[in-house]
Structure 1
Amino acid sequence: MYRRSLIGAAASAALLPAVGRAQSFPSKQLRLIVGFAAGGGGDIVARVLGAELTKSGGYSVLVDNKPGAGGNIATREALRAPSDGHAVLFANVGMLAVNPYAMKDVGYDPTTDIAPVCLAVDFSNVLVVHPSVPAKTLGEYLALAKRPEGIQYGSSGVGGAGHLAGELLKARSGTNMIHVPFRGGGPAMNDLVAGHVPSLIASAPTATPLMREGRIRALAVTGAKRSPFDPDIPTIAEQGFPGYAATNWYAVVVSSKVPPETVAALNAILTKALKSPEVQAAYAQQGMETIASTQAEAAAHIARETEIWKKVIADAGIRLE
């Protein structure tokens, strides 16, 4: 009996470090790393969530913008951080499912270096133009793009969902759409509103408020179906390109070196905040659907998206530099 008690006590003691780590997490400020400049979709997602974490959980939160290289700079920054789970990355489709397969060397492998925590939101991008552009439909826009000089379209950066959606439309339509990369959706939208770039493929959070104010004109959404938040905007697919679909999403991920029990604790903390009615209402106002997934669901979604976009990249011969 005494020996069994000793064995039981030893087994319990072996579990204490892992349990202790999970219960004491977070033990310092949470750093939410965003790969694009302030004002873009990822920045809005992170700031809404960060505010809820502070309000309801009492956590200290820093939103840290690290724009550049289509989000690769932010990804490498997150992977260099201490592997204690306090540095988390808001990663979009480009950072996890596109850049590693369309760029020469991104400096990380999402299949081995990254651990998914949860999916946060999902949304379509939208093709918008400055009011001075003489196009009120996608067909009229593509007619302008067929001219020898083509038409410029901006995006939040090389390899982002907007860029890839534009390249897919360019390949399907055979037009001269000229990509103009920015260091985030916010700067790109500022230049569109100012008339410095005629069109933009923007995230819903960046475009929706200005669309509703009438300061920019929406021509099409990139998803497979119309957005429930803006149902009057037709899809690209229904305007002559059946099967076209290019959505964006943001997942929260960490380094694969972060202990599994810490990743699980992060999932619990973040999904609780994401399920807050205030957070979901704030995202819906920006044209986004809140997901708040499990770790397994996030991993499966990223894997599916990776296979889809790897094939698109290979079939279209897309190379991003």
Structure 2
Amino acid sequence: MKSVVNAAVKSAVNPDIRRRAMHCLFACAAACATWLGAAAHAQPPAYPAKPVRIIVPFAAGGPADVLARATGEGIARATGQSVVVENKAGAAGTIGVDMVAKAAPDGYTIALVPVGNIAVNPTLMPNLPYKQSDLAPVAMLATAENVLVINAATPVRSVAELLKLAAQKPGELSFASPGAGSQAHLAGELLQLDANVKLNHVPYKGVSPAMTDVVGGQVTMMFAQLSAALPYIKAGKLRALGVASAKRSTVLPDVPTIAEQGFPKFEAVSWYALMAPAGTPPEVVRKLSQHVDAVLADAALKEKLATLGMEAAGGTPQQLASTIQQESARWAGVIRQRRITID
């Protein structure tokens, strides 16, 4: 276009016409330069361009906190930006998760979310301050195996023997949990449904007092995360009857799964996911997911998680969304059939 204008200018006989043509040319060039500069300036900086916060909805020091900090350190190394872990405990995780659900959807405030807070509580708690759709799946971080344990003095050595005893004494055998609506509680309710037996649920305020009473014989059994139960199993104070996952545990390879013992669809696995506010740009979610995959591939991190009874997971946002959908359907069915409510 410039050559055409120049040719027209040169061919112009009238000096006024020539001056006007040159003025028009320079004005067009200046406008184009201004537009290109504005367009370049409008491009958002590469993510992340500032520190990222990971909100942990529980107190510092627990498995969720350790997992978040290990993940954050890996993301920081990969991106060159600091990642700050903040503990926002309260209301069984609801306060922290709700904080992220209401945060700006820019990828700079994200949450570590356990299965209960995203796949159970939306059904269990009608007045929950956030909806499942308020959070965007990023990546599965880790899974934690649960194991059905009984007091070692109880004269049963398999799930079949336990259920036979439960059938003979309906409502007399009890199972502990760290609270109503917890994974341990729902697993016990699922066992009752699948086996058609009646057990007595005894809720506690935390894992430690629940485990103490199972060890002491005040309660018959409990579904517990393997990391919490393993010391008592090794000490001979608890007996492991079945692993509540699809495959046997590498830590307890001789203990069959509950699925192997007559309940092929039985599964009650704890897991932790990374989630962002709904509306976070897909490109930001994709980058976060890729960083998480790279972090979880680290052998040292896998070993560290194994000491906590967890297995590194990973995967795409779409895979996590599918898992949340499946788990929501599973536990919603248990909650409704067993008419479970939170006081």
Q: TM-score, normalised by structure 2?
A: 0.75
2:55 — aligned with what?
32
Q: Which amino acid aligns with 1:101?
A: T
Q: Are positions 1:163 and 2:189 aligned together?
A: no
Q: How many residues align?
A: 312
**For 2:148, what is the secondary structure of its paired residue?**
strand
2:177 and 2:210 in contact (8 A); partners too: yes
2:201 — aligned with what?
179
Q: How does 1:148-297 map to 2 (within 5 A)?
A: 148-193=170-215, 195-256=217-278, 258=280, 260=282, 262-297=284-319
Shift in alpha-carbon separation, 1:67–1:6, aligned structure 2, 3 A:
same
1:126 and 1:203 in contact (8 A); partners too: yes
Determine which of 80, 87, 109 is the counterpart of 1:64.
Answer: 87
2:39 and 2:264 mapped to 1: Cα distance? 59
**For 1:24, what is the secondary structure of its paired residue?**
coil
**For 1:119, what is the secondary structure of its paired residue?**
strand
Q: Are positions 1:126 and 2:147 aligned together?
A: yes
Q: Which amino acid aligns with 1:34?
A: P
CA deviation after TM superposition for structure 1 residue 221, in Å: 1.1
Q: Over residues 189-215 of structure 1, what are the superposed CA-to-partner deviations in whole Å (9 max), with x where a residue is unaligned?
A: 355445554322112333334434444
2:138 and 2:320 in contact (8 A); partners too: yes
Q: Are positions 1:99 and 2:121 aligned together?
A: yes
Q: Which amino acid aligns with 1:12?
A: A
CA deviation after TM superposition for structure 1 residue 257, in Å: 5.3
Q: Over residues 102-161 of structure 1, what are the superposed CA-to-partner deviations in whole Å (9 max), with x where a residue is unaligned?
A: 3332222112x1112210112431111232333322233334434244222222433332
> Greater relative contact order (Cα 8 A, min sep 6): structure 1 or 2?
1
**For 1:132, what is the secondary structure of its paired residue?**
coil
Shift in alpha-carbon separation, 1:237–1:35, aligned structure 2, 3 A:
same
**For 2:139, what is the secondary structure of its paired residue?**
strand
CA deviation after TM superposition for structure 1 residue 174, in Å: 2.4
Determine which of 109, 115, 135 is the counterpart of 2:131.
Answer: 109
1:82 and 1:95 mapped to 2: Cα distance? 20
2:203 and 2:153 mapped to 1: Cα distance? 21
Q: Over residues 70-111 of structure 1, what are the superposed CA-to-partner deviations in whole Å (9 max), with x where a residue is unaligned?
A: x43442244355666454332222221222123332222112
2:181 and 2:340 in contact (8 A); partners too: no
Shift in alpha-carbon separation, 1:228–1:5, aligned structure 2, 3 A:
farther
Further displaced range: 222-231 or 84-93: 84-93
- In structure 2, runs of 5+ residues without a counterpart are 2-28
1:33 and 1:88 in contact (8 A); partners too: no
1:150 and 1:175 in contact (8 A); partners too: no
2:105 and 2:149 mapped to 1: Cα distance? 40
1:220 and 1:235 in contact (8 A); partners too: yes
Tell me which structure has the larger Cα radius of gyration: 2
2:38 — aligned with what?
10
CA deviation after TM superposition for structure 1 residue 187, in Å: 5.0
CA deviation after TM superposition for structure 1 residue 219, in Å: 0.9
Please report the RMSD computed on the Cα atoms of aligned residues, expressed in angstroms.
Answer: 3.3
Further displaced range: 151-160 or 304-313: 304-313
2:35 and 2:61 mapped to 1: Cα distance? 55
